[in-house]
């Protein structure tokens, strides 16, 4: 994978719960892929999108990482923390934009490239409704082709219907036209639940942004509302809940 121009992604997120009860949900989402810094970050063709200032849609570096103005330094700290020897070149972030100033990103993806613009690391930044945040980082062989696959222990509270136990398995594919991200949670050798994000990529132009807003007129509210509505349905099905671990990173922003 090589860096792409700033792009708009419109697609669906589907969740499938397999155990202890079966349940499924699907909702539409809009995301934007863009450089976190550098000259390419300024290259955009949509008058409805802005970096670090108010617009109908916007990306703000303070919505991510340590919530500072230096997102690159935070990415480098995460890479060092996880023993990934990389001095990244271009770093691109795939995340839902602010919509009229509102934003919630269950999962953001950072694509970290080396000095030759080859993908060398991927970071998954996970957030929950308690303002907690955790990042899973993985090295990538720059010569690797085909879907990327990663696995790691679950280390962070996300859903009240899952304890902080088990193993995540990630599968990531991306090219100039589409994105496919799959995340599965395994516990005791059994797939407890999975989520798949399928999206189509388009240039970040004013026309494409207008079309996306017609398809998903309230991106942030749609995501939050969909998650909360399905949580209510799961409670009605009698699924037990687990409280977050208060006072530790499950309920606090990640800061390094």
CB-CB contact of 254 with 55 (8 Å): no
Question: CB 73: neighbour CB atoms within 10 A?
Answer: 13
Q: What is the pLDDT of residues 99-125, one digit of tens each?
A: 888 888 889 999 999 999 999 999 999
pLDDT over 90 for what percent of the chain? 45
Which long-range contacts does 231-235 make (Cβ < 8 Å, 24+ apart)?
231/160, 231/161, 233/23, 234/17, 234/21, 234/23, 234/161
Gap between the Cα atoms of 156 and 245, Å rounded: 9
Residue 124 CB contacts under 8 Å (≥ 6 apart), including other chains: 107, 108, 109, 110, 135, 136, 137, 170
Which long-range contacts does 178-185 make (Cβ < 8 Å, 24+ apart)?
179/9, 179/11, 179/94, 180/147, 181/107, 181/109, 183/107, 185/154
Gap between the Cα atoms of 42 and 51, Å rounded: 8
Mean per-residue pLDDT of the chain: 86
Task: Quote helix, strand, coil % in the chain, to nearest 5.
Answer: 20, 40, 40
What is the reported pLDDT for 167? 95
Look up residue 68 and give its DSSP letter.
S
pLDDT at 139 over 60: yes
243 vs 66, higher pLDDT: 66
pLDDT over 70 for what percent of the chain? 89
> For the residues 28-39, what does the mean pLDDT come to?
91
> For the residues 8-33, what does the mean pLDDT come to?
86
CB-CB contact of 226 with 14 (8 Å): no
Dihedral angle of Cα 207, 35, 121, 178, to the nearest 10 degrees: 10
Gap between the Cα atoms of 139 and 229, Å rounded: 36
pLDDT at 161 over 80: no
Grade residue 94 by pLDDT with cuts at 50, 70 and 90: very high
What is the reported pLDDT for 100? 83
pLDDT at 253 over 60: no
169: left (phi over 0), alpha (psi -120 to 50) or beta: beta
Grade residue 26 by pLDDT with cuts at 50, 70 and 90: confident
Q: pTM for this structure?
A: 0.88
Which has the closest alpha carbon to 239: 153, 158, 159, 131?
159
Residue 54 CB contacts under 8 Å (≥ 6 apart), including other chains: 101
């Amino acid at each position: 994978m090589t860096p792409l121009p700033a792009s708009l992604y419109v697609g669906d997120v589907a969740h499938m719960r397999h155990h202890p009860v079966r349940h499924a949900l699907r909702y539409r989402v809009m995301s934007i892929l863009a450089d976190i810094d550098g000259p390419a970050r300024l290259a955009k063709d949509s008058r409805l999108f802005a970096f670090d200032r108010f617009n109908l849609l916007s990306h703000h570096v303070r919505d991510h990482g340590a919530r500072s103005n230096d997102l690159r330094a935070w990415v480098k700290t995460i890479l060092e923390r996880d023993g990934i020897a990389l001095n990244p070149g271009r770093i691109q972030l795939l995340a839902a934009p602010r919509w009229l100033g509102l934003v919630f990103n269950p999962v953001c993806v950072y694509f970290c490239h080396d000095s030759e613009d080859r993908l060398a690391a991927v970071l998954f930044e996970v957030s929950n409704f308690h303002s907690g945040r955790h990042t899973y980082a993985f090295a990538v062989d720059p010569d690797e082709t085909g879907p990327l696959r990663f696995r790691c222990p679950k280390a962070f509270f996300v859903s009240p219907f899952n304890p902080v136990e088990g193993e995540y398995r990630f599968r990531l594919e991306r090219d100039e036209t589409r994105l496919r991200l799959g995340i599965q949670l395994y516990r005791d050798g059994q797939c407890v639940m999975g989520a798949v994000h399928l999206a189509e990529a388009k240039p970040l132009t004013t026309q494409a942004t207008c079309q996306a807003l017609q398809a998903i007129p309230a991106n942030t509210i749609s995501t939050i509302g969909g998650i909360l509505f399905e949580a209510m349905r799961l409670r009605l099905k009698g699924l037990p809940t687990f409280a977050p671990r208060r006072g530790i990173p499950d309920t606090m922003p990640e800061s390094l």
